[in-house]
Structure 1
């Protein structure tokens, strides 16, 4: 597909659809965060128990992407994507009617299996259509849509909790996914027809994944992006308790604070597009990684010193997420650049690494929960520091071939 041959209006519609596909997962996370306490009370359980539904979602996305990657490379991008969206819609409706916390945890896993089809397909389609520098700009545009999610979703969730109940949150998610499904059918073109000769035998699939994984360029940027993103998921998991319980924010105030922090992510992704006209993706993301690690370390130090207050906390998290807005689009474009026919598998493996680390950090925040904000701060600081160390200490080798 030649994206330059379509009209500006059609190009905008395609990019918006890709952005919405990328945002399904984040929106599914952010919209129900304000409802953790309400859901826990309704199910007569603890917030820590409900946090496992978030962990299950991360695990589902990490596992599901490994399934969709080979399917996208064999059957093209749209058919597996449509199947995933149908799964997501069905799981969302069931989430709205469940009456048991463990059922909710399982259904969130199934919901994640559906949502990750959009995340894998959108990244692969960007790789299909754009060259690496332009792809980094497009990923920044997609991050604009993704970045709106933390602003809109918690506010919508808080509004629903105020006027209805938490079950309606999942009804809204099902309706949104249905509208995206229609956009995929009628707006999104097929960017890759698939490789009918590609084998789906387990041994062949494992060989393809191993071929991608052992590429030094992919491995470097996937690791940096994965650890940097995992700090964000630690924040998502720990912020309801920290901001609402420790700092006493109401559901509406939590949504407003979440929106303020997320706005820095949006501004960074759009500034990244401008900076790419002067600097390359590696230089931008390397500086951002250092800044993010510095913010994470300060978060831990100030927490341990007992000098943390709400305004300092929000300021440091803003810097942390602002850095993520530069790291994610650039490392994603660089990680996928070496691959052509295996772009679906590369996209799946990239997302799997990111979400697996996100699931681990989310579970770590819950596991080490001690009634303070230290678990969240420590996991955020550690994740960003590891990403920074990898970037500055690991020598990358030049890619030799395009797969």
Structure 2
């Protein structure tokens, strides 16, 4: 379980190639995997990534109850969500380079252990400040699962193959945001909000077991990055000087900001403004997740006919238009909850098409430092999300506040893509692993 060959029978870790300017499509180890091996990989990595959405979403139905029980405000409780996202962002910046230096498994297992400890302490937290601090630690812990899972995919695949596998991965991890509020609502029937964190601790223990026995090391010693802090700084400097990479990372982060604005505001909007109970909220939230995940699977089919670049441009354009429609419905209350839900569904579906392709295009440029590149990508995703969540709280708890940030995120994403990255640069990116830009 310590080498890539354990996961990929017949593939020698010593022969795992270093990405160069020109490489054959069969040069990535993942191309030698059978269908059953890929399915197993998706299940294991999907389980790892699922801990992030579960940690973020599972306690959403309890936000109003936490506000009352801890005698605080809705804005303060929403900051606990911000703490989780901030921990995810910071943790990925630290764990990404570490995983490039020491391998994927050790940082992963340490991060999950931190998440378990923080979850247990949340069960006995006496006030919202303590919950906020522990949520930061939870975020730091799940950052390991997020960045390592993405880096493992990049260790094994590139280009369109990366986008296809990542779309399949989103199907597995997409069950988490669909089930999380529903699971949280079910727990609240026989427990209070503290029971949600007890369940997260149990899940963390199960996940550590899956990671320990189900995931091999995909970064052999010969490919690990050396040089300590200096090398890490140089890697980040090189990444930040790549305008196309930075632009695509920002696009991904802004699209995620739209999603996190929905996550942060939906509990209050659906339950307080539109009068849904905790169980009905779980159903409504899950319907949006179905749109997101369904789009990621449609993306696999679209990639057979269209390039990731084209799908990305069209998806963000549609998402921006749907965001403006959502804003109009929220401002005028025309159509009520059904109109808000329908336009939100289109925004989420558009995000489901954009999110597998933007990271695939960005990471295809930096396979030699996959962990560091994935860390920067994840840090921006969750860092921008961490800003979006409290912004919704500052603007209010109604549909208009949530819609404003959702629409703003999608509009900003398409603007960065068209103005910052520019279609001409985007067209130069190859949809397969045969071309990696020189940088």
Give the TM-score normalised by the residue count of structure 1. 0.95
- In the alignment, is the contact (CA less than 8 A) between 2:329 and 2:340 conserved in 1? no
Q: Which of the numbers 314, 318, 321 marks the counterpart of 1:287?
A: 314
Separation (CA, whole Å) in 1 of partners of 2:35 and 2:398: 50
Match of 2:227 in 1: 199
The 5-angstrom pairing of residues 15-54 of structure 1 reads 15-54=42-81
- In the alignment, is the contact (CA less than 8 A) between 1:34 and 1:251 conserved in 2? yes
Separation (CA, whole Å) in 1 of partners of 2:64 and 2:36: 43
Q: Where does structure 2 lack aligned partners over 5 or more consecutive residues?
A: 5-28, 430-435
Match of 1:377 in 2: 403
- SS at structure 1 position matched to 2:393: helix
Match of 2:25 in 1: none
Match of 2:328 in 1: 301
The 5-angstrom pairing of residues 2-401 of structure 1 reads 2-3=29-30, 8-194=35-221, 198-201=226-229, 203-369=230-396, 371-394=397-420, 395=422, 397=425, 398=428, 401=437
Deviation of 1:327 after TM superposition, in Å, equals 0.4
Deviation of 1:150 after TM superposition, in Å, equals 1.9
Deviation of 1:303 after TM superposition, in Å, equals 2.2
Deviation of 1:7 after TM superposition, in Å, equals 5.6
Render the CA deviation track for 1:179-224: whole Å, top value 9, x for unaligned: 11111111111110255661222x4322211111221231121111
Separation (CA, whole Å) in 1 of partners of 2:385 and 2:127: 25
Separation (CA, whole Å) in 1 of partners of 2:213 and 2:290: 31
Separation (CA, whole Å) in 1 of partners of 2:387 and 2:115: 23
Separation (CA, whole Å) in 1 of partners of 2:165 and 2:342: 28
Render the CA deviation track for 1:125-167: whole Å, top value 9, x for unaligned: 1111012111101110111122211211111100100122211
- SS at structure 2 position matched to 1:191: coil
- SS at structure 2 position matched to 1:156: helix
Separation (CA, whole Å) in 2 of partners of 1:104 and 1:20: 25
- In the alignment, is the contact (CA less than 8 A) between 1:70 and 1:200 conserved in 2? no
Separation (CA, whole Å) in 2 of partners of 1:141 and 1:187: 18
- In the alignment, is the contact (CA less than 8 A) between 1:158 and 1:251 conserved in 2? yes
Deviation of 1:402 after TM superposition, in Å, equals 5.8
Render the CA deviation track for 1:332-384: whole Å, top value 9, x for unaligned: 11110011221100000000111111011111111222x53221111111110
Render the CA deviation track for 1:220-279: whole Å, top value 9, x for unaligned: 211111111110000101111110000000000000101111111111011111111111
- SS at structure 2 position matched to 1:165: coil
Greater shift after overlay, 350-359 or 172-181?
172-181
Separation (CA, whole Å) in 2 of partners of 1:54 and 1:145: 23
Separation (CA, whole Å) in 2 of partners of 1:142 and 1:193: 23
Render the CA deviation track for 1:292-338: whole Å, top value 9, x for unaligned: 00011111122223425100010011001001111000111111001
- SS at structure 2 position matched to 1:338: coil
- In the alignment, is the contact (CA less than 8 A) between 2:330 and 2:340 conserved in 1? no
- SS at structure 1 position matched to 2:201: helix
Deviation of 1:12 after TM superposition, in Å, equals 2.2
- In the alignment, is the contact (CA less than 8 A) between 1:17 and 1:180 conserved in 2? no
Q: Where does structure 1 lack aligned partners over 5 or more consecutive residues?
A: none
Separation (CA, whole Å) in 2 of partners of 1:329 and 1:266: 11
Give the TM-score normalised by the residue count of structure 2. 0.88
Q: CA RMSD in A?
A: 1.7
Separation (CA, whole Å) in 2 of partners of 1:221 and 1:345: 15
Greater shift after overlay, 301-310 or 126-135?
301-310
